[in-house]
Amino acid sequence: MGLFDSIKDHFNNAEFSIAPNKKLKTISKDFKSSFNLSLVFYKGNMIADGDLTLAALNKKTTKKIDTTSKDDVKIKGTMKVGDVEDLFENTYGVKVQIKDKSAKTLMDNGLSLGKASRQ
């Protein structure tokens, strides 16, 4: 079953176009529908209000959030949780954590998104 899961993960991908006016909860919902995992945004060390947009979050934190990034974010099921979190940090300057579907348990950074979604 492990080989089949790995092959399936390779083809499970999603592309996110993140506009400054897109609400965080919408981005999280899209992520959950693609990977069956929760994507949680942070404002500093506090969970950000889902009704905020990236642009609005930028005004509420001391950290510069890049809402004009031209880089396309492509996330695949084979990517490790930690790499996806780093991708958001490096591309947009926003801190995210990936949690289980119920958003209660942090996923291990060493797991692929596919494997994390099956736990």
pLDDT tens for 9-18 read 555 555 555 6
- Full residue range of the structural domain in which residue 46 is found: 2-117
Rounded to whole angstroms, the Cα distance separating 73 from 2 reads 27
Residue length of the chain: 119
Q: Domain count of the chain?
A: 1
Specify the pTM.
0.81
In the chain, which residues have pLDDT < 70? 1-20, 59-72
Tell me, what's the pLDDT at 3? 57
Q: Are 20 and 67 in contact (CB under 8 A)?
A: yes
Tokens of 91: 């591309």
Residue that has been written with the tokens 């289980």 in this structure: 100
